[in-house]
Amino acid sequence: MDAWGWTVQLLNGWAGASSLFLVAAGLSLIFGVTRIVNFAHGSFFLLGIYLAYSLVEFISRPLGQAWGYALAVPLAALITGVVGAVVEVLLLRRIYRAPELFQLLATFALVLVIQDGVLWAWGPEDLLGPPCLAWPAPWTSPVAAFPATTCCSLQWARWCWAACGGCYTTPTGDF
């Protein structure tokens, strides 16, 4: 395997590990703060991703691809947060004092409801969004070798960094 192959494997490993870390950190944080066993937070990630997919498709038509991503990602996060707040008020507050097994079963049922809702709304096939090639980025990568979602998140970070003027640059201009 050449150096590019090792680089792709390393970045893919970091992307997978960061996803697992987010799920594990979410479980421990939610249980530590609210004292409720909530298995449904991963389903909210799922809902947010599918909402972002649909919003990118919808916003990109009139405004262009770069604005589609720039507006759809925060908007999907906001909508998912509102759905999470509604679930908190309607379901989770009622089971705070229940035993942990009941909490686990209730939130697992919520996982099934959200997954079935996503299947009903978006179907069972994989959805591939448009690549975010309209943003400036200092790197290129073959789409087949490196996942577009990771490339888009790296480009999103680079775009946000450039938008704030590279706030933390050294005197030589390096990051």
Structure tokens at 120: 């009903």
The pLDDT score that the predictor gives to residue 120 is: 95
Judgement on whether residues 116 and 150 belong to the same structural domain of the protein: no
The answer to whether residues 90 and 166 belong to one domain is no
Question: Looking at the structure, do residues 103 and 121 belong to the same domain, yes or no?
Answer: yes
Residues 147 and 83 in one domain: no
Residue 80 three-state SS:
helix
The total domain count for the chain is 2
Residue 94 DSSP code:
G
pLDDT tens per residue, range 135-171? 454 444 444 444 544 555 555 555 544 554 444 333 3
Domain containing 140: what range?
Answer: 132-175
**What CA–CA distances, in Å, run from 122 to 11, 30, 54, 114, 115?**
29, 28, 9, 12, 10
- Same domain (yes/no): 71, 90: yes
The predicted pLDDT at position 7 comes to 87
Q: What was the pLDDT predicted at 103?
A: 86
Q: Are residues 113 and 151 in the same domain?
A: no
Residues 81 and 148 in one domain: no
Host H or E run for residue 153: helix 148-163
Asked if residue 108 is part of any domain, the answer here is yes
Model confidence, pTM:
0.61
Selection from 168, 163, 137 nearest residue 70 by Cα? 163
Give the span between the Cα atoms of 166 and 157, in whole angstroms.
11
Measure the CA–CA gap between 29 and 59, rounded to whole angstroms: 34
For residue 105, the number of C-alpha atoms closer than 13 Å in the C-beta half-sphere is 5
- Tell me the per-residue pLDDT of 77-130, one tens digit each, with 9 for 90 and over: 999 999 999 998 998 888 888 888 888 889 899 999 999 999 999 998 888 776
- Identify whether 101 is part of a domain: yes
Q: Are 118 and 46 in contact (CB under 8 A)?
A: yes
Q: Are residues 126 and 138 in the same domain?
A: no
Residues 100 and 80 in one domain: yes
Residue for token pair 């209730």: 106
